[in-house]
Chain A
Amino acid sequence: MNQPNTLQPLVLGIESSCDETGVGIVRGTTLLTNTVSSSMDEHVRFGGVIPEIASRAHLDAFVPTLQEALHEAGVTLDDIDAIAVTSGPGLAGALMVGVCAAKALSIATGKPLYAINHLVAHVGVGLLKDADGGTGGRGGLRGGQLPENLGALLVSGGHTEILRIRSITDDVEMLGSTIDDAAGEAYDKVARLLGLGYPGGPAIDKLAKQGNAKAIRFPRGLTQPKYMGTAEEPGPHRYDWSFSGLKTAVARCVEQFEARGEEVPVADIAAAFQEAVVDVITSKAVLACKENGITDLLLGGGVAANSRLRELTGQRCSSAGITLHVPPLSLCTDNGAMVAALGSQLIMAGIAPSGVAFAPDSSLPVTTVSV
């Protein structure tokens, strides 16, 4: 295997853990291209991501996406120093396509392969800056350097997690996560209940603006004292979330209006549901930050597009003295650039590649940054 350039490595990243086939290319911390092909449209009539449909779409999208990424970045496979691929967590069949393709690229080109953790990659993307040397910090974290006390709040159709990052290459800890549905999944299910279509996030966010969030009060999961405990004696789910009870509460509420023969106040329900989700996510995330000395919080995942989530996270972070970093949306949703960004960090830190014999792991723990 060739030795990669460890100062400014040119890394190609491959992502296929859910319904986006992503290929991104970075040089060091500079983003060259971020090419994504989504199968989202094929899932619309099912109201959620169907793993087999996503896997089939990955197989057909991979080579065209790779080709386009190389073209956009103006590089060839020969120029690449290393390849990085999401090896988990994610949908098993979907991961398999990206992993097999990445391994084939590695043996075809002789370039080293890094099997990396998808969740940590959502954080790694924060380090990217624009190819034109933009000063703002393209990925959200200024200057391409990780703040010392960094946390990450990841919210999407596939995950709801709060992480602490001491070192992005080898010391990441899960502080809390959802114990059932991901927040984005809850949005999809509630949107279906309300007849709003898929994906649910944007539909509910839009309608919620016309509704009264205080008209109905929906439960905030895992907020009772027995789950929360205290800072000194934390309960079993102090920083964890649960959205399945909320979804049931919305269903009950809709049924009650129907049973009374009244018109269902869809906008109010959407607003109240969104408020319940966003309130519990942000309050627990900020609590986790305060109690763990986190001073900088990176927001990642597709639900980062949600206007209310951004607003309330911003407000609560600023009153708690936490600096919030939000990468542009194209880097928040699943993509290959984040995989390449983390791969690049691993190379710059001198971490050994994974070889081509590893297995994808649909439940890869966040403590395993690279395999």
Chain B
Amino acid sequence: MLILAIDTSAVASAALISDDAMEGVVESFATEDTRSHAEVLAPGIDKLLCDAGVSAADIDLIVTGVGPGPFTGLRSGIATARTLAFAWNKPLFGLMSLDAIALEVAESTEAKPEFLVATDARRKEVYWARYTLKDGQLPQLVDGPHVGFASELPDLPVFGAGGGIYADVVNANGEFSTTQPDAASLGQFALALLAAGVELPDSTPLYLRESDAQVPGPRKRAL
């Protein structure tokens, strides 16, 4: 089973995940900045396939992060994944992007039985979700994802860049204070879910916020 995973909910990242490879990751790439997805994603995927010596025929399915994340960046990954899936005629699934960080927490020595994952939602807010973790199991999403002020988060340890930015008001985990959702972890999560017989959701984006558009009120009449 070979999965192409893509996530652009924060940084742009892509990975080839296989149950045959060591720790599952065949090749991966991730940028550091959160604003150049449209430039770097396609060349990154192209290089990824080339470096791994993988062609479309080898790929079994595509998984994309569906957010939450800043809209324009988020859409660049989903648009890319949907188009690749169409052109290659591959099944496409979507995974909640914060799951990527939750899996990294679960696999680390920092793991907690209950914790939050948070990323930067800009406008002084974070995207966040609450997970529980039982020994030897995948992290379980129990609440969220939501968008809101960091100061209003439940009182639990916070993992991910959303915690790091607001370390003054939340119980941010230091080891994970800059961690962003990454396609490699997302793909591993997908692989684990598939192995467990879980049906994966589709690629509908999780915007969590409305478009900000205001319906204009009636014009004030001059009296």
Contact = CB atoms under 8 A, between A and B. Distances in A.
A258 interface: yes
Q: Max chain B CB contacts within 10 Å: which of A52, A53, A56?
A: A52
Interface string B198-219: 0000000101000111111001
Contacts of A146: none
Which secondary structure characterizes the binding site on chain A? helix
A100 B211 contact: no
A357 B222 contact: no
Contacts of B83: 62-63, 66, 100-101, 104-105, 108
A249 interface: no
B72 interface: yes
Contacts of B81: 104
Contacts of A104: 42, 45, 79-81, 83-84, 87
Interface in B20-62: 36-43, 45-46, 49, 56
Given A45-B215, A50-B213, A105-B83, A100 B222 contact: no
A208 interface: no
A109 interface: yes
B127 to A, nearest CB: 17
B46 A356 contact: yes
Which secondary structure characterizes the binding site on chain B? helix
Given A77-B87, A108-B56, A55 B72 contact: yes
Given A56-B211, A104-B87, A97 B42 contact: no
Contacts of B43: 355-357
B221 interface: yes
A62 B79 contact: yes
B195 interface: no
A356 B41 CA distance: 9
B75 interface: yes
Contact of B79 (A100, A106, A256): A100
Nearest to A260: B222
A259 B223 contact: yes
B42 A52 contact: no
A109 B56 CA distance: 10
A109 B216 contact: no
Given A77-B87, A104-B79, A258-B222, A93 B46 contact: no
B39 A55 contact: no
Interface of B: 36-43, 45-46, 49, 56, 71-72, 75-84, 86-88, 205, 207, 211-216, 219, 221-223
